[in-house]
Amino acid sequence: METAFFSAASLFHGDDSDDDRDEMQVGAEGEKQALEYAERAHDFPGMKLSVREFSCHELNANLLWPGTFSFATWLVKNRSILEGQRILELGSGTGALAIFLRKAFGVDVTTSDYDDKEIEENIAYNCRANNLDVLPHIRHTWGDPFPVSRPDWDIVIASDILLYVKQYENLVKTVSFLLKEYKQTSQKAVCTTITDKSGTEVATKSPMFLMSWRRRIGKDKSLFFTGCEKAGLEVQHLGDLVYLIDSH
């Protein structure tokens, strides 16, 4: 195992409750925490990826969560929605889902996570470990001004990111910006249909936010979806715990 060092800092713009942070290792302010890496092989649809994970990480970007694998399977079944699109992943963590999409479909995908050097470097490591050029990466804290003034990602994706309830408002702010300030640059606009959990065909068009979750959520997830709706976004459950959120 390799050891990395992380300087503990304030995670977000306020303190979360103990319930919100029950999966986070918290140290004294300014304390150096030694983090160990473990490299594991993970099965994705049609391929095996080598993913280096932190044994723990204060920003919860350490491991692969169930939503990553279920979302990868869902995207394989609905791969037509990805063709020719520019994709941004929020809360990329290890970068495994983005790496899978790049290798499986050759899509243009950018990773993004909290403004943390260790996360960015680990994603780059995992790209190289899977014989892939390092993917473009954006360091961004939800709710802060986004570093790109005119976002042109056709699809924003995320899996298992609804953990800190007090961050839902900031996440909604970031998602709203990415959808409402979108400027199309791709040659092909997403205009297709997806069959939802009831068998109904749902029309989709870029920009859109596709989110999967499987991880335990400490408080009612509906708070996030209600926040989206209050911000003028539409939320649809497509089945298999995959949600479509757009500004139409």
Q: Where are the domains of the chain?
A: 65-246
pLDDT in tens, 63-97: 788 889 999 999 999 998 998 999 999 999 999 99
How large is the average pLDDT for residues 237-245?
Answer: 91
CATH code, 65-246 = 3.40.50.150
244 contacts 194 by C-beta, under 8 angstroms:
yes
pLDDT in tens, 146-184: 999 999 999 999 999 988 888 999 999 999 999 999 988
Residue 115: name the closest of 144, 141, 93, 134 by CA.
Answer: 141
pLDDT band at 24 (very low <50, low <70, confident <90, very high): very low
pTM of the entire predicted model: 0.83
pLDDT in tens, 222-237: 899 999 999 999 999 8
